[in-house]
A and B are shown apart, each in its own frame.
Chain A
Amino acid sequence: EVQLVESGGGLVQPGGSLRLSCSASGFNFSSYAMHWVRQAPGKGLEYVSTITSNGGSTYYADSVKGRFTISRDNSKNILYLQMSSLRAEETAVYYCVKGKYSTSSGGFGPWGQGTLVTVSS
């Protein structure tokens, strides 16, 4: 069974940094692209970032480009999202999501339970 467990969320001040982690199990982690998707309170789903299976390619939403960095450690089955210069409007539940293929294409799923990031002074 695929399991994705996010951690690292919490309260951070505007302009601050935070690193999210996602520990994966139940599948061959190094064979699949991985994604981050977020959902602000009362809002819809917002795509954040993708990393291909071997980490060779990364993709970002325009809203986070230059401030967020996605990475992965295939030896430890862990996905990361380093976030900096955080803004209040980025308060959201951040989901770690398994890709359908090794590349950025295809469906997103399964999803982790999410970790809440609150950006507030």
Chain B
Amino acid sequence: DIQLTQSPSSLSASVGDRVTITCQASQDITSHLNWYQHKPGKVPELLIYDVSTLQTGVPARFTATGSGTHFTLSISSLQPDDSATYYCQQFHNIPNFGGGTKVE
């Protein structure tokens, strides 16, 4: 089974800060990685697919990179609306999710 380890598990930052979340896979998943945003009281939403492609409507302050086993999601200028838990997910094998990163 492929394990996805996200770090940090939570972070607190100020409006305008740049934040970066890391997702480490236990084996090579090439480019088979997505990111999701889950706001309190809402359903999760696909944020980025295939490592770095922004879903329609996602602000350009979100960027993501990576390949193989190391992936990152960055928010260039944090906004209050970005408060959420972010999950990475691989679909190289049977899909699974990382443990999540809560951004406050």
Measured as residues with beta carbon below 8 angstroms from the partner, the interface class of chain B is: 20 to 34
A12 CA to B36 CA, complexed, in Å: 30
A-side contacts of B60, CB under 8 Å: none
In the complex, whether A56 has a CB less than 8 A from a CB of chain B is no
Do the beta carbons of A108 and B94 come within 8 Å of each other? no
Measured as residues with beta carbon below 8 angstroms from the partner, the interface class of chain A is: 20 to 34
Do the beta carbons of B43 and A108 come within 8 Å of each other? no
Do the beta carbons of B44 and A45 come within 8 Å of each other? yes
Stretch at the interface among A14-22, A24-32, A70-78, A110-118: A110-118
Scan residues 53-84 of chain B and give those whose CB is less than 8 A from a CB of chain A.
Answer: 55
In the complex, whether A104 has a CB less than 8 A from a CB of chain B is yes
In the complex, whether A95 has a CB less than 8 A from a CB of chain B is yes
A-side contacts of B96, CB under 8 Å: 46-47, 61
In the complex, whether A105 has a CB less than 8 A from a CB of chain B is yes
A62 CA to B89 CA, complexed, in Å: 16
Do the beta carbons of A104 and B44 come within 8 Å of each other? no
Q: A residues within 8 Å of B by Cβ?
A: 35, 37, 44-47, 50, 59-62, 95, 100, 104-114
Q: B residues within 8 Å of A by Cβ?
A: 1, 32, 34, 36, 38, 43-46, 49-50, 55, 85, 87, 89, 91, 94-100
Question: Which 3 A/B pairs are nearest by Cβ-Cβ distance?
Answer: A109-B46, A107-B49, A111-B43
- List 13 additional A-B contacts (Cβ < 8 Å) besides A108-B89, A112-B43: A44-B87, A44-B98, A44-B99, A45-B87, A45-B89, A47-B96, A61-B94, A100-B49, A105-B91, A106-B50, A107-B50, A109-B46, A111-B43
15 pairs from A and B in contact (CB 8 Å cutoff): A37-B44, A44-B98, A45-B87, A45-B100, A46-B97, A50-B95, A62-B1, A62-B94, A95-B43, A105-B91, A107-B49, A108-B34, A108-B46, A109-B44, A113-B43
